Amino acid sequence: MTATLDVFDRHESAVRSYIRSFPTVFTTAKGHLIHAEDGRQYIDFFAGAGALNYGHNDDGMKAALLDYIANDGITHALDMGTSAKARFLERFHEVILAPRGMEHRVLFPGPTGTNAVETALKLARKVTGREKIVSFTNAFHGMTLGSLAVTGNAFKRGGAGLPLDNTVFMPFADFIDGGFDSLDYLERMLAGGGSGMDMPAGVIVETVQGEGGINAASFGWLKRLNDLCARWDLPLIVDDVQAGCGRTGPFFSFEPAGIKPDIVCLSKSISGYGLPMALVLVRPDMDVFSPGEHNGTFRGNATAFVTATEALRFWTDDALSREVERKGAIIEEALTAMATKHPQLQPEVRGRGLMRGIALGVEGAADQVCAEAFANGVIMETSGPDSEVAKLLPPLTIPEDALREGLDIMARAVDTVAARIAGADRPAA
């Protein structure tokens, strides 16, 4: 262990996690590359778990940020009016909301995804006067008590130290194999006056479950869910914290489904630069909080507004969306090749846009692939309830050659792991 790594052992809580997968100390980063103290550089296929869709330290945002700070632009302003926030609101409306016909109001919760989700749940409950929330298997919405209750992962739930309540879990999309229709099931439970399902306050869903294992719902399923919610007058909350901001192609992940959710949660890449920021978009008639009924010290993080405004330059046309589509196809092809080559790993290729992964049915295989990739200069992580998915979330802006280079390293990692597993299974000569 280097001297610096030792610092974390001595002083930081045992809860630290990614530093265990990537045991090094990072210093600088640019675009798709991260540099470590020991001089090594890494291709970033993780992108801050989706918080760095535009890569590290984008020059446009960096310039705006440096300028703002250098000129003593107000940094912290609670929810007072600032010119930085005004510019963001106007630009966000102009570039994102108006062209999509969305009249939603922008609510700034605390600057994290879980804060956005907690706010959305409170709103849905206040609007309906009901308590239960429909969430889905393998959902991930955050670690604070309200968000954790709608999160599926048993390990994370166990951390609450309390029974987690007021949530009804329904099977997500294709969670159940073999022709089971999860939305017919949900509707049957809603319809039956004796089903035990109390009429819910709303439904929360990710269009592609990132932490849950790169499970992508079809657009048809999403549209049907949307229509079901409309039919039953249930607020539909899309948690677009990880899948939004272009990660799947369009700005909002739900656009191709042809729906306009009542409430949308954004965070991660909304600031563009990796700075803490979150938004809740609320249909005007559901914008029912009284002034200050929800608040938070850092909901006016002006430096994030500055970079977030600059980041909107990526959305004035559909160039980035098309790029995501193109690169997504490259990944899909590469993953499919790995799957075809190693059927004994029980592979399943998953995902949409630049939110991709390959599930490996052999226990521990995905973890080994990521470790091997890291050893060879690629940062990538697993997801899924059993860490069974090797996940790829590269910056949307990654150059094609770097993408291919990373995929090659990953493919060799899969080869290595497959060989190792085959070796372990082989009886001694």
Alpha-helix runs per DSSP H in 150-206: 154-158, 182-191
**Residue of 39, 101, 292, 423 interacting with a copy of itself (CB under 8 A):** 292
**Residue of 222, 280, 345, 369 interacting with a copy of itself (CB under 8 A):** 280
For a copy of itself, give the closer residue by CB, 185 or 218: 185
Q: How far is the CB of 95 from a copy of itself (least distance, A)?
A: 13
For a copy of itself, give the closer residue by CB, 33 or 411: 33
Structure-token pair, residue 189: 């439970």
For a copy of itself, give the closer residue by CB, 7 or 319: 7
Residue list 102-141, contact with a copy of itself (CB under 8 A): 105-115, 118-119, 121-122, 124-126, 129, 131-132, 135-139
Residue list 215-254, contact with a copy of itself (CB under 8 A): 241
**Residue of 102, 197, 330, 402 interacting with a copy of itself (CB under 8 A):** 197
Q: Does 348 bind a copy of itself (CB under 8 A)?
A: no
Part of the chain binding a copy of itself (CB under 8 A), chosen from 100-108, 231-239, 329-337, 420-428: 100-108
Q: Residue 109: CB partners within 8 Å, gap ≥ 6? A: 115, 116, 118, 119, 278, 279, 280, 294, 296, 299
For a copy of itself, give the closer residue by CB, 65 or 320: 65
**Residue of 41, 48, 332, 348 interacting with a copy of itself (CB under 8 A):** 48
Q: Does 70 bind a copy of itself (CB under 8 A)?
A: yes
Q: Does 282 bind a copy of itself (CB under 8 A)?
A: yes
Distances (CA, A) of 40 to 332, 373, 392: 28, 14, 21
**Residue of 207, 226, 248, 303 interacting with a copy of itself (CB under 8 A):** 303
For a copy of itself, give the closer residue by CB, 249 or 276: 276
Do the beta carbons of residue 339 and residue 312 sit within 8 Å?
no
For a copy of itself, give the closer residue by CB, 247 or 294: 294
Part of the chain binding a copy of itself (CB under 8 A), chosen from 83-91, 220-228, 258-266, 322-330: 83-91
Long-range contacts (CB closer than 8 Å, 24 or more residues apart) made by 73-80: 73/302, 73/303, 73/306, 74/302, 75/301, 75/302, 75/303, 76/298, 76/300, 76/301, 76/302, 77/300, 77/302, 78/295, 78/297, 78/299, 78/300, 79/108, 79/295, 79/299, 79/300, 80/300
Distances (CA, A) of 88 to 94, 97, 307, 313, 319: 10, 12, 9, 12, 21
Q: How far is the CB of 146 from a copy of itself (least distance, A)?
A: 3
Residue list 146-165, contact with a copy of itself (CB under 8 A): 146-147, 149-165
- Alpha-carbon gap, residue 326 to 335, rounded angstroms: 15
Do the beta carbons of residue 357 and residue 213 sit within 8 Å?
yes
For a copy of itself, give the closer residue by CB, 12 or 400: 12
**Residue of 43, 53, 54, 92 interacting with a copy of itself (CB under 8 A):** 92
Residue list 1-40, contact with a copy of itself (CB under 8 A): 4-5, 7-8, 10-20, 22-30, 34, 37
**Residue of 40, 185, 218, 375 interacting with a copy of itself (CB under 8 A):** 185
- Alpha-carbon gap, residue 265 to 25, rounded angstroms: 32
Q: How far is the CB of 329 from a copy of itself (least distance, A)?
A: 27
Alpha-helix runs per DSSP H in 235-315: 302-311
Q: Does 83 bind a copy of itself (CB under 8 A)?
A: yes
Q: Does 275 bind a copy of itself (CB under 8 A)?
A: yes
Q: Residue 364: CB partners within 8 Å, gap ≥ 6? A: none
CA-wise closest residue to 262 among 278, 279, 281: 281
Long-range contacts (CB closer than 8 Å, 24 or more residues apart) made by 98-101: 100/251, 100/252, 100/255, 100/260, 101/260
